[in-house]
Amino acid sequence: MTANEDKQIKDKLLAELRERREKVEAMGGRESVGKQRKRGKLTARERIEKLLDKGTFCEIGMFGTSRGTAFGMDKIQVPADGVITGYGKIDDRKVYVYAQDFTSIGGTLSEIHAQKICNIMDSAAKGGCPIIGINDSGGARIQDGVDALAGYGQMFFRHTLASGVIPQICAILGPSAGGAVYSPALMDFIFMVKGISYAYVTGPNVVKAVLGEEISHEELGGAIAAQRKAGVVCRSENSEEECLQSIRELLGYLPSNNRETPKRVDWGDEPTRTEATLFDIVPANPSKPYDMHKLIERVFDQRQDGKKNYFEIFPIFATNIITCFARLNGWSVGIIAQQPMSKAGALDIDACDKASRFIRFCDAFNIPIINLVDVPGYLPGTEQEWGGIIRHGAKMLFAYSEATVPKITLTIRKAYGGAYLGMCCKGLGADTVFCWPTTELAVMGPEGAAAIIFRKELEKADDPDKLLQEKIKEFRSIFANPYRAAEHLHVDDVIDPAETRPRLIKALEMAIDKTEQRPKKKHGIIPT
Ligand code: HXC
């Protein structure tokens, strides 16, 4: 063969490669991509470009295609089999990513589509890299039959094995219907975008056929419903750009896997900074609300760029408890805090579920936990009791007790009864417990307590109201302060609120390298 012939063959091969690549890169074709844009959505490839650091994406499995032959599937080739898979970087950190391509046969999942996802999940787990999935799919590809369902099974299995090993983040940016929603549900964080995302097990048509109820996609499983009502989605953003940016921001607080600790990031805030205005935020009257976010903003590291200094998870679900990531002297921490502006900060079913999942995530990924407590108790009533507040509340006790990361509890104003325990006291393994001087620590609030323990005296009294007020005062003088608890070492110190930041930082830094053992077992049986 002459050198010229050799070159011609190679040029032809390269031309074929280019042509094949271009065909796959065109996704479902101009018309289908046009429809995607009309729906107000980016394409799968654009999403990956926006998610990752510029120019870092490497696609793998691009020539994968379905083995299905039924219903004309043998006559068509689905580009990339409806899912783009590969790896790249986010803020210079290695990540694996997949994005379902709705323009190619509705981003539906076939055996090969699933295998492509499973392949990168395996690589991510082996390499200790986070995985980010972008879902936009009509679910199981009907023409692929049980092969498609089997693919979901393999994904569910891998999500479960990877749980607590690598962070798994999902953005649902289109439909996610039927059993397919269980793939995101098995991951750690789900994001959605208002107006384009929806997730449900049975859609509006089935709801109408079975129950006769008329409901839109948006109302049933849109970004707001899936977060506020169902508590499935951890954040609903206004645009795809915002959503992908949020995922990048979230990742900044996380390690790449459970063997690492999160990267320490210096935002330039002083660890010794005191804050005289902190005490002004909190009214001395224990039943008067205030916004706990204000406290978080002032205590934790502040950013020089003026951006929010905490990243909230589930900001519109179970708003009586706040779960967010922030930084303390550069260390990434998970905050669990009451929000007295919502249900007085009482613990209810949803709050317990939200907090316990967050605690378990932080513990799995070596993120210290800071508890900011101002809790009147568990929410009373039949709705809560019959809904299972006992088992849901038990989850929090379980999660805190199981957690071996540094746990620091600061009671701001009150912690009564079971909720005192529920917010991580010494007994549940808190490394340090601080109180502000405003703190009331007791089995219950003074009013309820006095009415119970002085019932007989009150029944006999000439002026029961006067006596009750006296007894409330007496109870308050004994228990409605942090000193009795500090005398008995349930509290390590009562601190000046202005010094909250430096004291939390010192306590965190003392506990950061601690080791704690738990009994060897296959796994515990978490209350459900
Ligand atoms: C094969 C499908 C499909 C599916 C959509 N398509 N869903 N093809 N299997 N499951 C195809 C459509 O035929 C169409 O192809 C293209 O994808 C785009 O779909 P449209 O209907 O034109 O888009 P739109 O109007 O936006 O509606 C999107 C949709 C709707 C709401 C998702 O397509 C739909 O309801 N699909 C069925 C959803 C579903 O029930 N899936 C099964 C879920 S059960 P053309 O060629 O016309 O462009 C499941 C089991 C998992 O997933 C179990 C795990 C354990």
Query: Residue range 468-488: average pLDDT?
Result: 89
Give the per-residue pLDDT at 291.
98
CATH class of 19-251: alpha beta
Give the per-residue pLDDT at 442.
86
Ligand 1 mean position, distance from CA 204 (Å): 14
pLDDT tens for 155-202 read 999 999 999 999 999 999 999 988 889 999 999 999 999 999 999 999
Which atom of ligand 1 sits closest to the CA of residue 217?
31
pLDDT tens for 199-240 read 999 989 989 999 999 999 999 999 999 999 999 999 999 999
114 phi/psi in degrees, rounded to 5: -65, -40
Q: Classify the C-alpha dihedral 325-327-332-336 as positive or negative.
A: negative
Which atom of ligand 1 sits closest to the CA of residue 140?
52
Short-list 482, 462, 463, 375, CA closest to 422:
375
Give the per-residue pLDDT at 347.
97
> Could you tell me which residues come within 8 angstroms of residue 227 by beta carbon, excluding any fewer than 6 positions away?
192, 233, 234, 235, 236, 314, 316, 317
Query: Residue range 294-313: average pLDDT?
Result: 96
76 pLDDT more than 90 = no
Query: Residue range 297-309: average pLDDT?
Result: 95
What average pLDDT is seen over the chain? 95
Ligand 1 mean position, distance from CA 176 (Å): 10
Give the per-residue pLDDT at 480.
82
With contact defined as beta carbons under 8 Å apart, do 502 and 274 qualify? yes
What residues are in contact with ligand 1 under a 6 Å CB criterion?
Answer: 105-106, 108, 138-142, 149, 152, 175, 177-180
Tell me, yes or no, if 178 is annotated catalytic: yes
Q: pLDDT-based confidence at 476, cuts 50/70/90?
A: confident
Other Cβ atoms within 10 Å of 501 Cβ, number? 23
66 pLDDT more than 90 = no
Give the per-residue pLDDT at 506.
98
Give ranges for CATH 3.90.226.10 in the chain.
19-251, 278-445+481-511
Give the per-residue pLDDT at 75.
85
pLDDT tens for 322-357 read 999 999 999 999 999 999 999 999 999 999 999 999
By percentage, how much of the chain surpasses pLDDT 90? 89
Tell me, yes or no, if 179 is annotated catalytic: yes
Query: Residue range 380-400: average pLDDT?
Result: 97
Give the per-residue pLDDT at 261.
97
Which atom of ligand 1 sits closest to the CA of residue 152?
54
404 pLDDT more than 90 = yes
DSSP state string for 301-319:
PPPTT---SEEEESTTSST
Q: Which of 222, 418, 422, 445 is catalytic?
A: 418
Query: Residue range 55-79: average pLDDT?
Result: 91
Give the per-residue pLDDT at 225.
94
443 pLDDT more than 90 = no
Query: Residue range 115-130: average pLDDT?
Result: 98
Short-list 430, 393, 437, 392, CA closest to 414:
437
- Altogether, the residues listed in the chain come to a count of 528
Query: Residue range 397-414: average pLDDT?
Result: 97
Give the per-residue pLDDT at 367.
98
- Substitution site in 142, 157, 196 for ligand 1 pocket (most atoms within 8 Å of beta carbon): 142
Burial of 12 (0-12, 13-18, 19+ CB in 10 A): exposed
Ligand 1 mean position, distance from CA 83 (Å): 15
Looking up tokens 């996610």 gives 176
Give the per-residue pLDDT at 33.
97
pTM of the full structure: 0.95
With contact defined as beta carbons under 8 Å apart, do 422 and 347 qualify? yes
For ligand 1, atom 42: residue with the closest CA = 139
CATH class of 278-445+481-511: alpha beta
Query: Residue range 77-87: average pLDDT?
Result: 96
133 phi/psi in degrees, rounded to 5: -110, 140
Ligand 1 mean position, distance from CA 336 (Å): 40
403 pLDDT more than 90 = yes
60 pLDDT more than 90 = yes
Q: Is 168 helix (H, G, I), strand (E, B) or coil?
A: strand
Which atom of ligand 1 sits closest to the CA of residue 28?
48
Give the per-residue pLDDT at 438.
94
Ligand 1 mean position, distance from CA 271 (Å): 54
